[in-house]
Amino acid sequence: MTNLLRYRDDEAHEEPAVTLDSFLGQSNATAVRIESGEDARVLLPYLDRIALVEVSFPKFRDGRGYSTGRILREAGYTGELRAQGDVLVDQIPLMRRCGFDSFAPEAPVDEAVLAASLARYEFHYQAAADPAAPVWKRRHG
């Protein structure tokens, strides 16, 4: 795959992601693709055997995938979580906070802009699916 940005130490998963329906119908798939609007919670019983979840962002304005990411991470998913589709450079920091650790944007992103964006905010007000301590925790320990 071209233009894949990864924030993980392991090797990129090679097996192509199957649709949610085919994943649920076959016992050995380890990579699954969730379309916008599909319910990520049906994957929860299988999280320990999934290595890659690819979440589709058909349009950058479609924000359902942000919830999908958090739901999977909050349920304990530790495999690769990839945002694929109309993923824009200014959205990647938010997606990182929702637990995404790999990105397959349709259009190439400027890596210098991305690096600056990811480094820009030192603090975050609210807790999310990343390790950042919310500001209230920093204030009160």
Partner 1 sequence: MYKYDEYDHSIVAARVEEFRDQVNRRLAGQITEDQFKPLRLMNGLYLQLHAYMLRVAVPYGTLDSRQMHMLAHIARKYDRGYGHFTTRQNLQYNWIKLEDAPDILAELATVEMHAIQTSGNCIRNISSDQFAGAAADELTDPRPWAELLRQWSTFHPEFSYLPRKFKIAVIAAEEDRAAMRLHDIGLQIVERDGKLGVAVYVGGGMGRTPMIAPLIKDYVPFEDFVSYLEACLRVYNRYGRRDNIYKARIKILIHELGAEKYAAEVEEEFKAVKALGIDPPRAEFDRIAAYFAPPAYDAEAPDALDRSDPDFAVWLDQNVSAHKQPGYAVVTISLKPIGGIPGDASADQIDLMADLAKTYSFDELRVTHAQNIVLPHVRKADLYGLWQQLRDAGLAEANLDLISDIIACPGLDYCSLANARSIPLAQKIATRFSDIGRQRELGELKLKISGCINACGHHHAGHIGILGVDRKGVENYQLLLGGSGAEDVSLGTITGPGFSEDGIVDAIEKATDVYLRERDKGERFLDTYRRLGMAPFKEAIYG
> Which region among 2-10, 15-23, 77-85, 95-103 touches partner 1 (by CB under 8 A)?
95-103
Element (H, E) at 57: strand 52-57
> Which region among 16-24, 27-35, 46-54, 87-95 touches partner 1 (by CB under 8 A)?
87-95
Give the whole-angstrom CA distance, residue 63 versus residue 59: 9
DSSP code of residue 14: -
Element (H, E) at 102: strand 102-105
Give the whole-angstrom CA distance, residue 82 versus residue 17: 11
Task: Determine which residue in the list 24, 94, 104, 114 makes contact with partner 1, applying CB under 8 A.
Answer: 94
> Which region among 9-17, 23-31, 45-53, 63-71 touches partner 1 (by CB under 8 A)?
63-71
The residue count for binding partner 1 (CB under 8 A) is: 38
- The residue with tokens 């950058």 is 60
7 touches partner 1 by CB under 8 A: no
Q: In the complex with partner 1, which residue's Cβ is closer, 29 or 71?
A: 71
84 touches partner 1 by CB under 8 A: no
Distant-in-sequence contacts of 74-78, Cβ < 8 A, 24+ apart: 74/129, 75/41, 75/44, 75/47, 76/47, 77/43, 77/47, 77/50, 77/53
Task: Determine which residue in the list 11, 48, 126, 131 makes contact with partner 1, applying CB under 8 A.
Answer: 126
Instruction: Kindly list the residues in this chain that would bind partner 1 in the complex (CB under 8 A).
Output: 60-64, 66-67, 70-71, 74-75, 88, 90-91, 93-95, 97-98, 110, 113, 116-117, 120-128, 134-136, 138-140
